[in-house]
Amino acid sequence: MFSSSAMERRRRSPCAAVVMAAVAMLAVMPAFPGVAADLSAGYYSSSCPKLESIVRYEVSRKINETVVTIPAVLRLFFHDCLVTGCDASALISSPNDDAEKDAPDNMSLAGDGFDTVNRVKTAVEKACPGVVSCADILALAARDVVSLASGPWWSVELGRLDGLVSKASDVDGKLPGPDMRVTKLAAVFDKHGLSMRDMVALSGAHTVGFAHCTRFTGRLYNYSAGEQTDPSMNKDYAAQLMEACPRDVGKTIAVNMDPVSPIVFDNVYYSNLVNGLGLFTSDQVLYTDGASRRTVEEFAVNQTAFFDAFVSSMVRLGRLGVKAGKDGEVRRDCTAFNH
């Protein structure tokens, strides 16, 4: 079912864990303020015709250096869009440590995600200075890490501007947590117009990446008065996790989110849930709760259905809180506002 070699322990801190996000559908009231922008796949066809090839080349180079790039970029995209919209506000570095990236819920965002976007921006600026926003670069990079990991490819809508505000205080309470049950998860997603099916599809991003042990050891030790370990967890899987993550585990130790195919974007995540191999509570409850179980079962046996649903949700996610006009700018440096 799974091998011990897949339970790779990592002593660096790149682990992208919670890769879940809410999506706003255009048919509902936008969750975030901002001027409506006309997004289109061909937005830069004249001003920066080689944009997509530049992005893919740089993303591919980064993945060849470390596969952590894949979940790191995906998680960065989700965390950016969910807080104040897809405006690259999560990329801002503040000398006062009060930007979005400094919020407690964002402290575990892997540096490889930020590095990827900054590398791409440097290359794009050489070809098309002052033309392409960091928000659009992040959206393209998120698509490319999925595609390069054997996942689906889709046409990315472009034309976003970079936001003018980035505050750590905006992050609190905006991101789903690893211990959430379906009812809470559904409430977080529903306020952005996202259905249960979409929530399950976006959760499939956990088919790649790693998670720090401290994020889930509550499921392994002293789970409840009558159970040491969460009974919904496969016993053999729990035993391997206990070996990798002892009670006194350090904060930097991590394991694969998907113990079967951790660096391939596929539907194995859902098969894992059926077999009790969900790492977080927020993963496993998607199968144990009847409200979402049928979708998990569908995706577990039909990768095409999963890919189609994931792409649809990612496109809508990319429309969330898009900035235009005086509400945004094209940053020269993704880590700093132009002013």
Please provide the DSSP assignment of 163-224 as one string: ES---GGGTTT-S--TT--HHHHHHHHHTTT--HHHHHHHHGGGGS-EEEGGGTGGGTSS-S
Instruction: Say how far apart CA 64 and CA 177 lie, in whole Å.
Output: 30
The answer on pLDDT for 30 being more than 80 is: no
| Overall domain count for the chain | 1
State percent of the chain over pLDDT 90.
Answer: 77
Contacts of 298 (CB under 8 A, 6+ apart): 305
* Average pLDDT score over residue span 60-77: 97
Written as one string, the DSSP assignment of 275-306 is TT--SSHHHHHHHHSHHHHHHHHHHHH-HHHH
**Structure token pair of residue 66:** 């470390």
Q: Is 87 annotated as a binding residue?
A: yes
Q: Is 327 annotated as a binding residue?
A: no
First CA to last CA distance, the chain: 54
Instruction: Say how far apart CA 73 and CA 103 lie, in whole Å.
Output: 18
In-domain check, residue 332: no
pLDDT in tens, 300-332: 999 999 999 999 999 988 998 999 999 999 999
In-domain check, residue 41: no
Quick one: how far is CA 100 from the chain centroid?
15
Q: Is 231 annotated as a binding residue?
A: no
In-domain check, residue 143: yes
CA nearest to 325, candidates 22, 81, 87: 87
Residue 33's pLDDT is 53
The answer on pLDDT for 1 being more than 60 is: no
> Between 295 and 82, whose confidence is greater?
295
- On whether the CB atoms of residues 86 and 139 are closer than 8 A, the answer is yes
In-domain check, residue 138: yes
Q: Is 258 annotated as a binding residue?
A: yes
Torsion sign across C-alpha atoms 222, 226, 232, 233: positive
Q: Which residues are catalytic?
A: 79
CATH of the domain at 173: 1.10.520.10
Residue 20's pLDDT is 39
Residue 31's pLDDT is 58
pTM of the complete model: 0.89
Q: Is 80 annotated as a binding residue?
A: yes
Residue 32's pLDDT is 61
Residue 206's pLDDT is 96
Instruction: Say how far apart CA 276 and CA 270 lie, in whole Å.
Output: 10
The DSSP bridge partners found for residue 162 are 329
Residue 18's pLDDT is 37
Range from 19-33, 112-126, 235-249 carrying the lowest mean pLDDT = 19-33
- On whether the CB atoms of residues 21 and 317 are closer than 8 A, the answer is yes
In-domain check, residue 6: no
Residue 37's pLDDT is 73
Find the domain containing 133 and state its range: 48-208+256-316
Residue 193's pLDDT is 76
CA nearest to 79, candidates 17, 29, 121: 17
In-domain check, residue 28: no
The answer on pLDDT for 73 being more than 70 is: yes
In-domain check, residue 1: no
Residue 226's pLDDT is 78
- On whether the CB atoms of residues 194 and 25 are closer than 8 A, the answer is yes
Q: Is 339 annotated as a binding residue?
A: no
Contacts of 212 (CB under 8 A, 6+ apart): 13, 15, 17, 108, 251, 252, 253, 254
Instruction: Say how far apart CA 41 and CA 68 lie, in whole Å.
Output: 27
Q: How high does pLDDT run on average in the chain?
A: 89
Q: Is 162 annotated as a binding residue?
A: no
In-domain check, residue 238: no
